[in-house]
A and B are shown apart, each in its own frame.
Chain A
Amino acid sequence: ETGVTQTPRHLVMGMTNKKSLKCEQHLGHNAMYWYKQSAKKPLELMFVYNFKEQTENNSVPSRFSPECPNSSHLFLHLHTLQPEDSALYLCASSHSGREETQYFGPGTRLLVL
């Protein structure tokens, strides 16, 4: 089983839609992360969960809502997004803190029309 999986791989949604991105890690890690990767911008950290508790919310708009039901699963719920939210959304996990290696999933390519 691949270390970190993300579904769907591609998503097209209208600005009034509600959708969710799913991430699952099979590495026994305790920390999970959501990053946003846009063209011409650095990877941006969005949310961090450590032992299922949210430890960081990097000033992300409320139209993005994370959920971490257990250490293996992470969701990103999307609603009333804007076209500028189109990007590659990457999930990552690590054993615990940020000093450790982060293992990334393949990402979900999101297009908001």
Chain B
Amino acid sequence: TQLLEQSPQFLSIQEGENLTVYCNSSSVFSSLQWYRQEPGEGPVLLVTVVTGGEVKKLKRLTFQFGDARKDSSLHITAAQPGDTGLYLCAGPGGGADGLTFGKGTHLIIQP
């Protein structure tokens, strides 16, 4: 089974600060996805990274896939209260279908 470790587990910062959260594995993934989940809702896809070393930007969010395709990071610039949520990374699992998820990072942005 391929495992994804996310850190930190919890993060609470002030509005306007920058932050980075990490997703690491000892296994190589063909792709990694980042989702955000808000209370009472299911996860919503933010981005998919496919190529080692790839960097993708989504407004204030910057996603990076490690060169060896074993890790990924999400950097948020000038965090806003609307960024609050559970950030999950996921990749194709060991089985035929479905995704393997990390435990997630609970992010709280305080006004």
A residues in contact (CB < 8 Å) with B: 4, 31, 33, 35, 40-43, 45, 48, 50, 55-56, 58, 90, 92, 97-99, 101-107
Contacts and interface: CB of A to CB of B under 8 A. Distances in A.
Contact of B99 (A41, A50, A98, A106): A98
Name the residue among B33, B93, B99 with the largest chain A CB count within 10 angstroms: B99
Contact of B42 (A40, A48, A58, A90): A90
Contact of B95 (A35, A42, A45, A101): A45
B42 A4 contact: yes
A104 B103 contact: no
Contacts of B98: 33, 45, 48, 56, 58, 98
12 contacts: A40-B103, A42-B4, A42-B101, A42-B102, A43-B88, A45-B99, A48-B97, A58-B98, A97-B97, A101-B33, A102-B99, A104-B42
Contacts of B92: 98-99
- Size band of the B side of the interface? 20 to 34
B40 A106 contact: yes
B95 A58 contact: yes
Contact of A48 (B40, B96, B102): B96
Nearest to A9: B40
Nearest to B35: A104
